[in-house]
Structures are given as C-alpha cells and as structure tokens.
C-alpha cells in the first residue's frame, strides 16, 4: 500500500473524531459527472452556460429551460454509492467519523448509510413550493414534464442552493462546529473553487488535514497530506 494511504489509514485508525468534506469528485465513480473537470458539467455545451442556468434569477425567469437542464443533467437514473461513500458510512458506524460535510446534491452519502450528512448545497431529492413553501415529493419535479406547480399555483423548486442564493445558516454553523473540532479533516473530490463552502475548511485547527483529489487545488500547500488519486481507489484501501 502506498505510504501516503498508509499514513491516512493510521490517522483514521487512531482517531474517533474524523470529519469529511467533499464535492462532486466523490460521485464521479458513481457515474455522475463533476462540474469543472474536462468532461464536467460546466464544460459541456448547452444553450446557456450551466452556471447561469443554475442561478436564482434564471430559475425565476426561465423555469421551463431550468427544468429541461435539471432533468437532463442533474437527475441521473440508477446511480449508486461507490467505495468512497460506503467507506465513509462504515467509518461513521465504527464511531470514527463524526460527520460528512458535502457540496453534493445527489443524496448518495445517505444512500450508502451515512447518518450525519451536512448538505451545504441542499439535495435534488427534496423540493418545495417557491410561493407557499409546501414540501413536495421530488419525483413530481425530477420525473415530470414542464414546470411543476403547487396547488397554490406557485412553482415547485428543488431544495438546492442556486447561485445568488445563501446557504442555510443552521447547516453552515453545524459544519463550522464539526470542522473546527475535528482531529482529522479529510477533504475529497472537490476543486475548492466555490465559496463560502470552500472557506469552511479554514476553520480546521488540527494538524492532520488530508486532501484526496485527482487534480491540484488551491489548498494543496496547506494540507498535511496530499493524495492525487481516485478517491474510490484510495478509500477502498483504508
């Protein structure tokens, strides 16, 4: 086993206070493209730039176009948790991992059995009426046709954080609490490009920060351990 993976395994074996902070790269091995890799969502040709479509003002102005993109690109049938998701759930069950803090909206951590999952950007498995707030099963939004509407006439929207929208205060403060108290912080599958999410890792105060990411990130120099490998491959060896 690679020395760096052995070092990460040692930190985890010796700790009962590990926190994971992840992004879209955790789900690519489940068949969900990430955003900024060469074949990522933001590099795919679409009528408007995907970052524009995934914004509050676009959703309000062009809900039909938003939902075309949502059903085509965000909802992927038959995706399953991969080795990374499963290992994190196992570490939580073993009393080692305190929480998963994720930027992902795919629900795969919960599908793998993780209980404490802080979804900084929400989830496409939940939806609600943008007018009266009534919650709706996500299928009406993810599987339907056209713009889903509430009984009140309002547009049903996904429970995700679109660009121009704030993150949920309670989720952010809990993420800060677990990260600032963590003994080991493992960051995986994220380019650490998007704030305020990426800024949360600055609350970590320990000296066991591991970064497991295929490409370089702006935080590589601040990490105590950097592994540029596929996260599923690394986690299956822990």
Nearer to ligand APR, 105 or 138 (CB): 105
Shortest distance in whole angstroms from residue 190 CB to ligand APR: 3
Shortest distance in whole angstroms from residue 42 CB to ligand APR: 7
Nearer to ligand APR, 17 or 52 (CB): 52
3-class state of residue 83 by DSSP: helix
For ligand APR, which residue has the nearest CB? 25
Given the rule CB under 6 A, which residues bind ligand APR?
Answer: 23-25, 28-29, 34-37, 40, 103, 121, 189-191, 193-194, 213-215, 230-232
Shortest distance in whole angstroms from residue 153 CB to ligand APR: 29
85 catalytic residue (yes or no)? no
Nearer to ligand APR, 9 or 228 (CB): 228
Residues assigned a catalytic role: 121
């Amino acid at each position: 086993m690679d020395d760096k993976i052995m070092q990460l395994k040692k930190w985890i074996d010796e700790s009962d206070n590990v926190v994971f902070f992840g992004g879209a790269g955790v789900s690519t091995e489940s068949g969900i493209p990430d955003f900024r890799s060469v074949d990522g969502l933001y590099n795919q040709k679409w009528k408007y730039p995907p970052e524009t479509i995934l914004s509050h003002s676009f959703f309000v102005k062009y809900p039909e176009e938003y939902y075309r993109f949502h059903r085509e690109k965000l909802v992927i049938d038959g995706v399953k948790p991969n080795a990374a998701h499963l290992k994190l759930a196992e570490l939580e069950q073993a009393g080692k991992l305190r929480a998963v803090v994720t930027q992902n909206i795919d629900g795969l951590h919960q599908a793998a059995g993780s209980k404490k999952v802080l979804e900084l950007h929400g989830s496409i498995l939940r939806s609600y009426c943008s007018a009266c707030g009534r919650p709706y099963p996500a299928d009406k939004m993810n599987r339907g046709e056209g713009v889903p509407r509430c009984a009140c006439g309002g547009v049903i929207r996904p429970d995700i954080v679109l660009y121009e929208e704030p993150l949920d205060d309670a989720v952010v403060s809990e993420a800060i609490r677990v990260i600032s108290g963590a003994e080991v912080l493992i960051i995986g599958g994220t380019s650490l490009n998007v704030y305020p999410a990426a800024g949360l890792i600055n609350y970590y105060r320990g000296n066991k920060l591991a970064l497991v990411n295929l490409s370089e990130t702006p935080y590589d120099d601040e990490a105590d351990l950097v592994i540029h490998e596929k996260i599923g491959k690394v986690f299956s060896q822990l």
